[in-house]
Amino acid sequence: MSTLLEIKSSVLRQVQVCPSFRRKTEPEPESTSADPPEPEMGAWKPGDGMEFFAHMRLILKKEEGRQGLPCPEVLLRSGSPAPAEPVDPNRGLRALTQEEVEMLYEEALYTVLHRAGTMGPDQVDDEEILLGYLQQVFGTSPEEHTEAIKHVKKAKAPTYTLKVSVMRAKNLLAKDPNGFSDPYCMLGILPASGTPREQSRQKEQRFTFRKGSKHSSPLPAKCIRVTEVKSSTLNPVWKEHFLFEIEDVNTDQLHLDIWDHDDDVSLAEACRKLNEVIGLKGMSRYFKQIVKSARANGTAGPTDDHTDDFLGCLNIPVRRDTVMSQRGRSGFLSYLLLLSRILQFEHQAEESNSSSWHGEFSGPGSTILCLHGAQSNLSPLQLAVLHWQVSSRHHQTCTLDYGYLLGLLEDMQAHWEEAASLPQEQEESLADSFSAFSEYGLQLLCQLRDYFPATNSTAVYHLELLLKCLDKLQLFQPSFEICPFETELNMDIAAALKRGNREWYNRLLNTKSPREQSGPQRLPGLVELADIIYEDLQACYGIYASLFHGILKVDFFTLTFRQLERLLAEEAWVLTEELNPKMTLQVASGLFELYLTLADTQRFWSCIPGRDGRSLALAGIHTPFLPAVKIWLQVLRDQVKWRLQGAVDVDTMEPVDASSKHSSSAATASLCFSHIQELWVRLAWPDPAQAQGLGTQLSQDMCGAALFYTELLRKKVDTQPGAVGEAVSEPLCVVLNNVELVRRASGQALRGLAWPEGVGGVEATLPRPLLSCTHALEEDLQHEAHTVTAHLTSKMVADIRKYVQHISLSPDSIQNDEAVAPLMKYLDEKLALLNASLVKENLGRVLEALWELLLQAILQALGGNSDVSADFYGRFHFTLEALVSFFHAEGQGLPLESLKDGSYKRLEEELRLHKCSTRECIEHFYLDKLKQRSLEQNQFGRLSVRCYYEAAEQRLAVEVLHAADLLPLDTNGLSDPFVIVELGPPHLFPLVRSQRTQVKARTLHPIYDELFHFSVSAEACRRRGACVLFTVMDHDWLSTNDFAGEAALGLSGVSGISRSQMGGGMRAGQPITLHLRQPRAQVRSALRMLEGRTNKEAQEFVKKLKELEKCMEADP
């Protein structure tokens, strides 16, 4: 019992014992061989089918990547460097002549030698380093370098101008009652003093643009500028720019005051007049007036109502900023040439990883460019434009990082919004650079798959940055007076993509499937081409589409899919028209694989929300492929059988591994069925009528293959010798597990073969032909499993009978549990072996079969013993209860409903009857007839009667009214029925004899209307089991009468018996319709029990019923 506690199985139907393992089949004419029929030879060479299914697995593996819409994480498989982009030296800036190079070299030297201001923290202030760097950039010899420096030093020194930008202030003092100020700035240049400054260390004298104190006199100002007044703020923002001429770049200082404006004086007008004064002496005198009228200190008396408050001042030495040399328009061009030269030099130093260079200049390089830009008076916008022009041109000759180029465009965009505009010549130059870069970008997009493969994450990132650069170019288009693009850039990009798609397709077609070849030669290449196109469309959707649509609003996927799908469909139509008239098996196999890819392509489009596949060129493409698909399915049928034959031939009938209980051939069969079902799903034939024909044929072929496999297994196991005395056969257990695995695998595969009109995995929704085929196969395989189970358990029949006989022969002196112990031990040992060898479903089958064997053995033991003691039957009753507990195993084994059904009820009834007296057995005989009243409906017909008790006359009245739908028992299709009416049990009505109606000739619906009286007491009618029995017979003139059916009516509920009858002799009771039936097992059990008894009462009762004995033995 401990073994069954581990079993968790559901109820399976009762196993019928089969004496032989082989299924009995009708022998074919002129053939008695049991060998399974050999499959026909197909397109593939006959063998074990391994090559065919290996090819099928490749097809299915290819289909695995086509489930649903692709995601970028699956497509991006490589992070290796991106493919090198094409470069062309001719696309860069034009090469300079030797004279131009020398002039540019001197220009750069002049910039270094006459630098001014203080360098930034990342810049170089060492003149020798800067000059040495320029020598390396231009590649000059030491002699040439020395000579050039001498020549530059002889040139006239530049004049300096200081450019000052007043941007903003933060957290100023609040001078107004409202908690704010009205700040403005006054700034100017403090020239160097002719006399040394006072070296007082006690207190530094602060200079302001207001009237000096008594300790100092006002210093003259060379030039004074003033900003706008920002009202009511402590954090003013000005963003105003001023220019100041510088006489001495080493000693002049920039001075700045911040004031709170409190009067209505126009500061700008006052400063303008101040700057009109010529000479330092006059300027100082005029400045005193401004100080007196508008710049007085806050300490003025109450009469000074309009006095500005001093907020602070700042002295900035000129050397802390850059100076500029006015060189006119030549500064823009010279900076461009110098930047190009330096950029080339810096990029060459990063040659090992040049494509990822971010434009990071060295310290000397950035210093020289900063100095030259400042001295050339180039605005931030001009500098940004120059860097973009030079870098974008250089990128086309030697690839740069796209992130660097995008940063240049973003920097230029930021300055473009702040600046007014560029001179026309510079704007034209910028437009030319935009056109050149867009032309280069379109060239790359035309070869998108070569330079930006979807599987390379680095290349895809480069593509994203390139598209962002092109998008930035579009943003500048409205700002140009001279448009750099003849058409919208989006249109040019779409045209480039279409041109690239067509060139890529033609290149593939010429490589894989050139039109010069014949159709059969082109077919494999076209299959490969279709696969490549499908993968490319996946990449377009998963990678490229989001980039193009999100950045440029270009629907790249729709554009590409429509174009490639149309080209592929045209090629497929032409090829199928050529191949269909000369179809071969090999051609059919190739066309089948081609169609799968075309169907996947069409479904790919339909999977995308909002897309309709009916508008595609591939719509209806299935029609020319139908002949090839039919031939391929025939090849599949043959190859499946060859594969199963080969798998069984090499099968050792041992479990595959410790976790599996089936052998290798079952795994192969299951895999074959799974592959077939997967291929059908991928085929997804769109035409419902054609799909029904294909699916029906395929399902029939699969059923044939499953049965073919079971025949191979039986043949295999029959040829293996069994171990002597082996009660549990390991090969049979493996065969049973194999059949179960194939049953489940084939059933699941068949349910997956639903065609369009029956999509769904539920049986109720399967198409009728497929449902019929599934049910037929299920019935056949269940029968096969039951046959193997019966063969397996038949080896245990002798042992079970031996142990049951041991129980029956055990003396009454021993305890019941001791008598049953050997049988329970035997069952526990054998079921432990079965539990280890069988899967759950098969173990349930074996348990049911063993349970039936045990019940039959006990019934046989009971039948072979008569006139035994009551303890004998009590022992078997104990045995039966112990076996129920053992097989139920506390709910882990067979359910009680299954255990207590069928033979169990018969056995329990016999044990119960054996305990009863003869009269009790007779009463059970009639009670069992009453219990069968409602078990059947109209199978044997109906009988209408009326029954009531006449208390005054002390008699029972029985009316036989009519019958209907009786069994036709004569050769003419009719019967000659009559009804026998009798009361029972006989010991309750010992003096009552049976009565009968008249015979109604040739009818199945006789009308009798006959009344019978039985003189019996009401007390007898109320006794247990009292009933009236109606037996319908067919009268035969030349032979014995035939039994047509019977029905019993209990007397305890008859009118007049159950309650007092009203009205004396008045008839009572309504007509009753009784369903005729034949005796069941319980009735026959009571009869057999009485037959085995030798007492007079039992023998007389049996003798009375002898006439119906043969009929009772018949089972409907």
pLDDT at 864: 73
In the predicted structure, residue 304 carries a pLDDT above the cut 60: no
Q: Which of 65-69, 718-722, 811-815 has the highest mean pLDDT?
A: 811-815
Mean pLDDT of 490-497: 91
**H helices present in 26-163, as ranges:** 50-64, 72-75, 98-113, 127-138, 142-153
pLDDT grade for 1026, boundaries at 50, 70 and 90: very high
CA torsion, points 26, 29, 34, 37, in degrees to nearest 10? -110
> For residue 486, is pLDDT > 80?
no
The C-alpha atoms of residue 888 and residue 908 are separated, in whole angstroms, by 17
Mean pLDDT in residue range 285-306: 43
Mean pLDDT computed over 499-513:
93
Peptide bond before residue 985 is cis, with ω within 30 degrees of 0: yes
Residue 472 tokens, joined: 């930035």
Tokens 């973003």 label which residue? 410
What does the pLDDT read at residue 508?
Answer: 93
SS3 of 851-889: the string is: HHHHHHHHHHHHHCCCCCCHHHHHHHHHHHHHHHHHHHH
Q: In the predicted model, is pLDDT for residue 997 greater than 60? A: yes
Q: Does the pLDDT at position 246 exceed 50?
A: yes
Confidence category of residue 338, pLDDT binned at 50, 70, 90: confident
What is the predicted pLDDT for the residue at 1088?
A: 65
Mean pLDDT score of the chain: 79
pLDDT at 1068: 58
Is the pLDDT higher at 92 or at 498? 498
pLDDT at 272: 54
At 922, the pLDDT band (50, 70, 90 cuts) reads: confident
What confidence score (pLDDT) does residue 673 get?
Answer: 92
Mean pLDDT of 53-82: 71
**Per-residue model confidence as pLDDT tens digits over 379-414:** 888 898 899 989 889 888 888 888 999 999 988 888
pLDDT at 19 over 70: no
| pLDDT tens track for 438-463 | 999 999 999 999 999 988 888 899 99
Rounded alpha-carbon distances, angstroms, from residue 1020 to 218, 955, 984, 990, 1023: 151, 11, 10, 11, 5
Q: Which residue has the higher pLDDT, 68 or 156?
A: 156
Segment 912-927 shows an average pLDDT of 76
Q: What is the mean pLDDT of residues 321-350?
A: 68
Contact between 625 and 602 under an 8 Å Cβ cutoff? The reply is no
Per-residue pLDDT reduced to its tens digit, 94-141: 777 888 888 888 888 888 888 776 777 788 888 888 888 888 888 888
The band of 1036, judged by pLDDT with boundaries at 50, 70 and 90, is confident
Q: Is the pLDDT of residue 687 over 60?
A: yes
**Band of the pLDDT at 49, cuts 50, 70, 90?**
confident
Contacts of 852 (CB under 8 A, 6+ apart): 14, 15, 16, 17, 902, 903
- Min mean pLDDT across 9-18, 237-246, 743-752, 953-962 is at 9-18
Q: What value does the mean pLDDT take over residues 735-754? A: 91
Q: Give the SS3 label for residue 453.
A: coil
pLDDT exceeds 80 at position 277: no
* pLDDT at 205 > cutoff 70: no
How large is the average pLDDT for residues 271-279? 50
pLDDT value of residue 700: 92
Model pLDDT, residue 709: 93
pLDDT at position 295: 43
Q: How many CB atoms lie within 10 A of CB 287?
A: 24
Question: Lowest mean pLDDT: which of 110-124, 503-517, 987-1001, 1027-1041?
Answer: 110-124
According to the per-residue pLDDT averaged within each range, which of 62-71, 168-177, 213-222 is highest?
Answer: 168-177
Mean pLDDT of 926-936: 69
- pLDDT at residue 739 in the model: 93
Residue 497 confidence class, pLDDT cut points 50, 70, 90 = very high
Token pair belonging to 865? 């013993």
Scanning the structure block, which residue is given the tokens 């895999």?
A: 671
Residue 856 in tokens = 């039959």
Q: What's the pLDDT at 926?
A: 82
Per residue in 966-978, pLDDT (tens digit) is 999 888 899 999 9
- Mean of pLDDT values over 488-501: 90
Please say if the pLDDT value at position 350 is more than 50: yes
3-state secondary structure of 301: coil
pTM recorded for the entire structure:
0.64
What pLDDT score does 911 carry?
77
* Closest of 722, 738, 736, 732 to residue 647, by C-alpha: 738
Matching residue, tokens 């919208």: 488
Confidence of residue 464 (pLDDT cuts 50, 70, 90): very high
Residue-level pLDDT at 1002: 92
- Which tens digits make up the pLDDT trace of 806-826? 888 888 788 888 989 999 999
Cβ neighbour number for residue 52 with a 10 Å cutoff = 22
C-alpha distances in Å from residue 502, one per residue of 495, 525, 748, 759, 1020:
11, 18, 45, 39, 105
pLDDT category at 956 given cuts 50, 70, 90 is very high
Q: Which pLDDT value is given to residue 527?
A: 92
For residues 252 and 512, the model is more confident at 512
**Long-range contacts of residues 191-196, Cβ cutoff 8 Å, at least 24 apart:** 191/220, 191/222, 191/247, 191/248, 191/251, 191/252, 191/280, 192/247, 192/248, 192/251, 192/252, 193/219
Q: Is residue 616's pLDDT more than 80?
A: yes
